[in-house]
Structure 1
């Protein structure tokens, strides 16, 4: 019974998070992000402002959460589902590229590129993959790779942030009169290039996990 109650509670929390982020994006698209208040988002989602603050620290975070939509857990799931014989560096790169370049809401993306605060929140969202990705990497490396997995996950999140910053063209890219920063470059190529710098470290960690006895000598 306790397990069932816990499961129902988690489902309710997830439903609340989804309702809040969808309400935030809907209001931002309708009224403009600068005209959306936390109270408005909470009211549209049917919860109190206090409840809102249990889920998101800002309106920008909620709006971006609607665009990324649990991307971090989907990346971790994709990595966990990759064939065991597939090179870890390749599996990581493929999972990240796929989840960052899947079809997106064009209007929502334009909304983010037009707002410096939303661009910053979008870049910060890369850090959310660190914990679930670390767990997925550890699953591939085995229990002896716990610390290594977390270090690699943090490095991957940083590399993704660098690629996203290059793609958004901030802060050096010129902006239009309306404040729009047009994403520059080809995002899959930028992601693959950034992640390629980590490949030697990932390969080394994978090799150590395959031959732990040799590393002990």
Structure 2
């Protein structure tokens, strides 16, 4: 199989995964506050235009399907940081990478609210964030010249960034909030990266 065929297959698989995830989330939202308990695999498969068997090839649970967009997004944080210009400081690179990844497009409020207000879904989303911390920590280590495993800074910063994203999401969902998610996320991240960056420590010596 040539590279083009492999790329097409990968794109098709990702498109199917996204279709199933979108259908699962929309069905849960339509069912209201207790939507998770009312959504069935058969219904998700029908809405996505696939068979239940295909659904099971992609997801092990409804929670995993509903949170798949957030999971896929979180796994790209490390790659997003690596794509930033090398001349940017760690602070600039992390904030720019995270804001671009999580606000283009802006999150769906109904979907995010469903996930954050349902314990089973919030737990699944937290699991996705935890998985994302490793690649982000590696990208931070590479950018700051820290040898892998030689210090706590990359892992602690990655965990703090993931926490800031979650806190920003909760704040954005509060009734009466009029600020964009991008502005809230930027503010949340500004409390994390500048204080902990080893670059800042070196400059102050």
| TM-score calculated relative to the size of structure 1 | 0.66
What SS does the corresponding residue of 2:58 show, helix, strand or coil?
A: coil
- 8 A Cα contact 1:23 1:45, kept in partner: yes
What SS does the corresponding residue of 1:91 show, helix, strand or coil?
A: helix
What SS does the corresponding residue of 2:50 show, helix, strand or coil?
A: coil
Q: 1:194 aligns with which of 189, 192, 195?
A: 192
- CA deviation vs aligned residue, 1:80-130 (integer Å, no higher than 9, x gap): 332211112431233124433452222222222332222222333323433
Q: Which residue pairs with 1:64 in the alignment?
A: 67
1:10 matched to 2:10? The reply is yes
Gaps of 5+ in 1: 171-180, 208-217
Q: Please tell me the root mean square deviation across aligned C-alpha atoms, in Å.
A: 3.7
| C-alpha spacing 1:164/1:140, structure 2 compared with 1 (3 Å) | closer
Q: Give distance in 2, aligned partners of 1:148 and 1:9.
A: 39
Q: 1:104 aligns with which of 84, 102, 107?
A: 107
How far does residue 54 in structure 1 lie from its aligned partner after superposition? 3.5
| C-alpha spacing 1:71/1:25, structure 2 compared with 1 (3 Å) | same
Q: Which residue pairs with 1:45 in the alignment?
A: 48
How many corresponding residue pairs?
191
Q: Which residue pairs with 1:28 in the alignment?
A: 28
- CA deviation vs aligned residue, 1:120-166 (integer Å, no higher than 9, x gap): 22333323433543564466467x845569972x4344213433454
Q: Give distance in 1, aligned partners of 2:74 and 2:126.
A: 13
| C-alpha spacing 1:96/1:150, structure 2 compared with 1 (3 Å) | farther
Q: Which residue pairs with 1:83 in the alignment?
A: 85
What SS does the corresponding residue of 2:95 show, helix, strand or coil?
A: helix
Gaps of 5+ in 2: none
Q: Which residue pairs with 2:160 in the alignment?
A: 159
- 8 A Cα contact 1:29 1:108, kept in partner: yes
Q: 2:95 aligns with which of 72, 86, 93?
A: 93
What SS does the corresponding residue of 2:67 show, helix, strand or coil?
A: helix
